[in-house]
Amino acid sequence: MAAKYFGTDGVRGRVGVAPITPDFVMRLGYAAGKVLAKTRDGVAKPTVLIGKDTRISGYMLEAALEAGFAAAGVDVWLAGPVPTPAVAYLTRALRLSAGVVISASHNPFHDNGIKFFSATGNKLPDSVEADIEAALEQPMDCVPSEKLGKARRLSDAPGRYIEFCKSTFPNALDLRGMRLVVDCAHGAAYNIAPHVFHELGAEVITIGNQPDGYNINEECGATAPKALAASVREYRGDLGIALDGDADRLLMVDASGRIYNGDELLYLMVKDRLATGPVEGAVGTLMTNMALQVAFKKMGIAFERAKVGDRYVLEVLQEKGWQLGGEGSGHLLCLDKHTTGDGIVSALQVLSALRRSGQTLAQMTADLKLFPQALINVKIPLGYDWKSNAALQAEKAAVEESLGERGRVLLRPSGTEPLIRVMVEAEDADLARSMAQRIADKVL
């Protein structure tokens, strides 16, 4: 993704912190519009697509962005509530100048954010981001009346995206005979995801599909999958599919109510691809369970860790020329299917793997035993230089040497609190806890 402007009390992004007021968002639209108009070199009036999730503040931010783009002479197509990956797809398919998503993804309703996609459905080039940030510092003006941008509704946006999602599922397969419970998190996919699976033949029971502007991600969806697990058992579903507010995350549940996280689903997708052809490598993050690293090594598949965040996974995939990557939270990328993480498309890849193999989720992941993880948060003083703590580094090195290939250590500062997160993975839960405590005792 490109720069992310996010929050209710503040906006976090490369521009620093600023109030997320209608005025700021309008200026952001104007700045982005002026940069896009400049890059078009007068060949044609630039056009952007704006999509959003279901949170109440989306109406306000959509109107402010629309006004800013129009003032810069940029035409706008309004897609309404659609998943984040739908905006990436539609921007590319319609040959537009850029796509904009108004969403705070898995966060509660009182947060919101703005993400940009390039004309190719990827993140904006760094140079364009920098130009937009610079333009934000300039006074806002307005083009002459005859050059103002226009806005119109893209009424068939959901249908176009539904057909795209279905196209990523093999033509030779269908979902007939499957009962799926789909949790849309009262978010952007509420009127899209059920149609995708139903039109491929499944019996679909939908939950989390009654958005009211305030209940997005509230005790439902990929951030709270226990609700889906209970519904799968209640309705005797074959599988459950949990999306988050903007439908770029995926968790799944089997008939017994057992929840499968992003690490397990990534393993399943890699295993399925390996059965039909070579897989050069896969990408996880610093938080990806070590069991995947061990399993991929046995399978002869290279594995790389990126920084935490789907944008970093995407960057490593593009650098390596690989196709599959993801995070335990459920952000999964299949770059031969889409340019960005997509919960619905990822679910279809899992379902096609199950159909091809004739196996269940449990059977396909039976040979993957996730390592137990122990996590200890240690409060530190503001400004504390933990990296220069010789005793801490020595203890970390000693634990790593003791674990060898049977475990892993990760020290990571919190991005929002004065904390050091000490995480140890090991084949044995008690060993992980004891090793984590050893390191935590040396933080201060």
Helices (H) and strands (E) in the chain, counts: 14, 20
Instruction: Output the six-digit token pair for 192.
Output: 């899209």
Question: Which neighbouring-strand residues pair with 115?
Answer: 101
**Helix (H) or strand (E) run with residue 113 in it:** strand 113-117
305 SS3 class? strand
Are the C-beta atoms of residues 288 and 282 closer than 8 Å to each other?
no
- Element of type H or E holding 183: strand 179-183
Nearest alpha carbon to residue 234 among 255, 218, 217: 255
Q: 246: burial class by Cβ within 10 Å (0-12, 13-18, 19+)?
A: buried
Structure tokens at 67: 């006004």
From 57, 103, 105, 231, the catalytic residue: 105
CA dihedral over 101, 102, 107, 108, signed as positive or negative: negative
Question: What whole-number distance in Å separates Cα of residue 215 and Cα of residue 51?
Answer: 19
Closest-CA residue to 425 (of 374, 367, 369, 377): 374
**CA dist list (Å): 89 to 45, 93, 340, 346, 380:** 21, 6, 9, 15, 44
Amino acid type, 102: I
Neighbouring-strand partners of residue 74: none
Annotated catalytic residue 357: no
β-pairing verdict for 113-117 and 75-81: unpaired
Q: How far is it, in rounded angstroms, from Cα 40 to Cα 47? A: 10
The CA distance from 356 to 336, in Å, is 18
Amino acid code (one letter) for 292: L
3-state secondary structure of 43: coil
Contact 190, 209 (CB under 8 A): yes
What does residue 350 show for φ and ψ, rounded to 5 degrees?
-65, -45
Active site residues: 105
